[in-house]
Amino acid sequence: MPRTGYGAVVEAEEPTIDQERARPADERHEELAGRVAELARRHGVTVAVAESLTGGNIAVALAAAESASEWFRGSLVAYASEVKHDVLDVPDGPVVSPEAAEAMASGVRRLLAADVAVSATGAGGPDAQDGREPGTVFVAVDDGVQPQVRQLDLDGEPREVLVTAAGEALALLVERLEARS
């Protein structure tokens, strides 16, 4: 019979994606940003960020990470569609799309001369945008080799959507940096 109570050894299960998303944002973002810092330093790469609906939340997490001045090139919050088109070279058309997310990551990587860039764009709510339902988010990463875009369908109030989207963008960045090993 397994021991229970004080001193019991319990085998931890891997958290599900929903459990991971439910963690407090600051805790999850801090952990993911710490992992980005570790991997960026290990691989000697620089990182840049282009944000729309996340409004700087990704950059805040990265800037607070260890030795950020060594690897974090900076961030551009391109909230207005015109900024996405004019500064980041997002093609004309919807800005809540996989194409826009990819162009944002590519554009900020080029603009800030970074090795790897991550981006986030989406319809945070409460209304639809570009024909996309609230909670539709696209995060992308570009390392100059193979861009990757991930679509997220998130639930919640606009603040919850943007915080979760920031965490998912950081997680995608970690995945890409881990793949460099």
Q: CA 165, CA 125: separation in Å to the nearest integer?
A: 13
Structural domain includes residue 16: no
Structural domain includes residue 94: yes
Structural domain includes residue 12: no
pLDDT at 10: 45
pLDDT at 1: 47
The pLDDT tens digits for 24-63 are 678 999 999 999 999 999 999 999 999 999 999 999 999 9
CATH number of the domain that 108 lies in?
3.90.950.20
Number of domains in the chain: 1
Give pTM, 2 decimals: 0.86
Structural domain includes residue 10: no
Structural domain includes residue 158: yes
pLDDT at 20: 55
Which residue positions in the chain have pLDDT lower than 50? 1-10, 12
pLDDT at 24: 63
pLDDT at 33: 98
Structural domain includes residue 132: yes
Q: CA 85, CA 93: separation in Å to the nearest integer?
A: 9
pLDDT at 16: 56
Structural domain includes residue 175: yes
The whole domain housing 74 covers 23-179
Structural domain includes residue 13: no
